Amino acid sequence: MEEFRDPFVLPPSVDREKFHEFISRAAQVVGIMNIMVISDPSQFSKQDYMDSSKSHDMFHVLEKEEFLSSAVVMPRQVPDVQDMMRLANEFEIPVWPFSTGRNIGYGGAAPRVRGSVALDLGRHMNRILEVNTDAAYALVEPGVSYFDLHDYLVKNNLRKDVWMDVPDLGGGSLIGNTLERGIGYTPYGDHWMMHCGLEVVLPDGSLIRTGMGALPNPQADKNKSPHEQEWNKSWQLFNYGFGPYNDGIFSQSSLGVVVKMGVSLMMNPGGFQSYLITFPRNEDLHKIVEIMRPLRISLVIQNAPKLESILVAAALAGPRTKYTSSEKLLDDQELDNIAEQLNLGRWNLYGALYGPQVVRDSLWSVIKSSFGNIPGAKFFFLEDRPDDLAMQTRNTTFQGIPTISELEWVNWLPNGSHLFFSPIAPVTGDEAQAQYQLTRQLVQEHGFDFIGSFLVGLREMHHIVCIVFDRKDDESRRRAYTLIKTLIAAAAARGWGEYRAHLALMDEIAGTYSFNDNAQMKLNEKLKNALDPKGILAPGKNGVWPANYKKEEWVMPH
């Protein structure tokens, strides 16, 4: 008798005998306790962010079973990951690595190819290997979440020395979020920019360290397995090392499994003050963005500020029914009323000042006088708004303290679920205005209220449009899916591309990056086929299909 039950879905072109043989061999690698075959729907009913699913997308826009693993394998250490790569090659079974699987809005832990075997790296490989407060960096394994690193800094009384950056939700991992090029809101908000040094298992099972990590530490004990060897002291200090800079090919990619990553930390800035500036009119958007650009590029605005349309804070403060009993979309008059009710503007800019009082006072005087040119602009600090959840949340996030309060806005609708549409644009009033008009119009044409924010990185804006739908309502899901596809095409026609994508949209978005007859995709495919000739690692990730998959049969919609 087989030790494991049959999976609900098998990997492609794999029969149940082969699957069971693979799983038994995987059990020899990781131990029987570290295998979970996904055999019946009760195993993919999880919806809770903090106790998240490891096999399906909790915020599914297509059927829940569309993106589903056959089994979850939990490696205990790096050699297990290496063995799993070798096994996957031997059986030609696709594996899908993730760290904590909380990549919600983009697919969570679910694989692109139905029936893939999930590699849950975070379950056991969750050590904080080093925190260096002099040079301000940490070295972590995949399972280290923002909450974990924060707890470590607090318990060891290290926040007096260093701060970290966090994204909107703190339950995800540093490695997962960074590889996906996620963002946060302190001066270290560009997570990919702030990583330094990777240790990676390649699809053939070999292990590399990038950058200065490739230079052995002379004191390292050569008797130890390579993943345990003491690392070069400059690994987390200088990203580039010598020769081609390879790190980029491991982000948003299917070319390696990252098992260690260095992350730069901020020095404790010696003082912090969050602020909110509200702007009363919808038309103020143009001016706000024009004022913001030089302030941000010159670092007078030190962090990535968040410029939100009114419904973000409104949705954080309560469900839609708190504001209207009508099913009809909210019109401008109603949005003005909500803004007034919440003592907010139609646009609300959340930012922060870092440094000693004298530095903050100087920066604030420039910021205040610049935005003061917009009639009706109001300026607030936290103490002015003691009951404002949005302000409290930003005040916490902007000083690198993780929370999960930001997730509240998905409850705008019952059974609220969300997709992110995230195009990049230059920081100009014209572009912001045009992007806002186009996206709002399409969002509304598809029967949704517009909820969106502009996050100003440095020279560009990430526009994050939150499509909140009811996941238990097929019609609502269908509309959300049609909407996002329409948005992708309409944005590409204007020269706007997305920085990150849900599983269901990776092909679509990859297809828009088509300069010179898809030359970049051809390069990505060449790399994929060279490093992973059997196409076992995350096939289809970000639209890159290995040669042994007939692409035309796999791209969505199929």
Interface contacts to ligand ADP, rule CB under 6 A: 97-103, 108-109, 121, 142, 172-173, 175-177, 179-180, 257-258, 538, 541
| Paired tokens of 51 | 């106790």
**Which of 249, 427 has the CB closer to ligand ADP?**
249
In order, the DSSP letters of 238-269 are -S--SSS--GGGGSSSSS-EEEEEEEE-EEP-
| Paired tokens of 549 | 């998959």
> Among 116, 119, 104, which Cα is nearest to 180's?
104
Q: Which DSSP symbol is given to 280?
A: -
Alpha-carbon distance of 329 to 199, in angstroms, equals 49
Please give the span between the terminal C-alpha atoms of the chain, in angstroms, as a whole number: 37
Given 102, 394, 479, 500, the catalytic residue: 500
For the bound state, the minimum distance from the C-beta of residue 395 to ligand ADP, rounded and expressed in Å, comes to 23
In order, the DSSP letters of 326-344 are -SSPP-HHHHHHHHHHTT-
**Which of 102, 477 has the CB closer to ligand ADP?**
102
For the bound state, the minimum distance from the C-beta of residue 106 to ligand ADP, rounded and expressed in Å, comes to 7
For the bound state, the minimum distance from the C-beta of residue 182 to ligand ADP, rounded and expressed in Å, comes to 7
**Which of 141, 284 has the CB closer to ligand ADP?**
141
Helices assigned H by DSSP within 174-309: 174-179, 285-297
Active site residue 123: no
Active site residue 137: no
**Which of 203, 416 has the CB closer to ligand ADP?**
203
> Among 66, 70, 107, 100, which Cα is nearest to 88's?
70
For the bound state, the minimum distance from the C-beta of residue 243 to ligand ADP, rounded and expressed in Å, comes to 22
Opening angle at CA 203, ends 201 and 209, nearest 5: 25
**Which of 345, 402 has the CB closer to ligand ADP?**
402
Alpha-carbon distance of 445 to 430, in angstroms, equals 22
Hey, which residues does 209 pair with through a beta bridge? Answer: 199
For the bound state, the minimum distance from the C-beta of residue 148 to ligand ADP, rounded and expressed in Å, comes to 11
Indicate the helix (H) or strand (E) that contains 167: none
Active site residue 499: yes
> Among 195, 180, 178, 203, which Cα is nearest to 257's?
203
Alpha-carbon distance of 460 to 481, in angstroms, equals 26
**Which of 172, 305 has the CB closer to ligand ADP?**
172
**Which of 97, 262 has the CB closer to ligand ADP?**
97
For the bound state, the minimum distance from the C-beta of residue 504 to ligand ADP, rounded and expressed in Å, comes to 13
Q: How many CB atoms lie within 10 A of CB 335?
A: 19
Helix, strand, coil content of the chain in percent (nearest 5): 35, 20, 45
For the bound state, the minimum distance from the C-beta of residue 280 to ligand ADP, rounded and expressed in Å, comes to 36
Hey, which residues does 276 pair with through a beta bridge? Answer: 350, 380
- Close Cβ partners of 244 (under 8 Å, ≥ 6 residues apart): none
Q: How many CB atoms lie within 10 A of CB 458?
A: 15
> Among 449, 137, 114, which Cα is nearest to 266's?
137
Q: Is the CB of residue 143 less than 8 Å from the CB of residue 173?
A: yes
**Which of 254, 439 has the CB closer to ligand ADP?**
254
For the bound state, the minimum distance from the C-beta of residue 180 to ligand ADP, rounded and expressed in Å, comes to 5
Q: Is the CB of residue 208 less than 8 Å from the CB of residue 446?
A: no
For the bound state, the minimum distance from the C-beta of residue 305 to ligand ADP, rounded and expressed in Å, comes to 23
Alpha-carbon distance of 387 to 393, in angstroms, equals 11
Given 49, 102, 106, 350, the catalytic residue: 106
Question: Which residue, judged by CB position, is nearest to ligand ADP in the bound state?
Answer: 176
**Which of 99, 186 has the CB closer to ligand ADP?**
99
> Among 22, 33, 80, which Cα is nearest to 2's?
22
User: Which residues are the active-site residues?
Assistant: 106, 499-500
